[in-house]
């Protein structure tokens, strides 16, 4: 019995650098295992899977979620500033 391999991507982005790693993984692979296989945490030590949310195609999911063919695993960063506060600051800067 052969194991089916899935083609997936693992993505992480900062304002200065973005990385997308293409992988072939076992059909039983989870989000957490894919992130480990992609070795992104070594490149970006600020990632803490206990704190950073993760998702598949912009939908938040659990680290234990099993992957499907062509999934894109995404590691999300915390917001640096609340979106409403950012809008207020832009409005003040523009003199509104």
The domain spans of the chain are 5-93
Could you list the pLDDT tens digit for every one of the 96 residues in the chain?
677 999 999 999 998 999 999 999 999 999 999 999 999 999 999 999 999 999 999 999 999 999 999 999 999 998 777 778 888 888 888 876
CA 56/CA 47 separation, integer angstroms: 17
Question: Right CATH number for 5-93 from 3.30.70.520, 3.40.50.300, 3.10.20.280, 1.10.10.10?
Answer: 3.10.20.280
Helices (H) and strands (E) in the chain, counts: 3, 5
């Amino acid at each position: 019995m052969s194991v089916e391999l899935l083609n997936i991507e693992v993505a992480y982005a900062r304002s200065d650098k973005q990385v997308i790693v293409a992988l072939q993984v076992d059909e039983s692979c989870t989000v957490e295992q894919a992130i480990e296989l992609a070795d992104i945490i070594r490149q970006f030590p600020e990632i803490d899977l206990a704190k950073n949310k993760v998702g598949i195609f912009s939908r938040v999911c659990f680290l234990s979620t099993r992957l499907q063919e062509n999934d894109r695993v995404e590691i999300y960063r915390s917001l640096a500033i609340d979106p409403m506060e950012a809008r207020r600051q832009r409005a003040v800067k523009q003199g509104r």
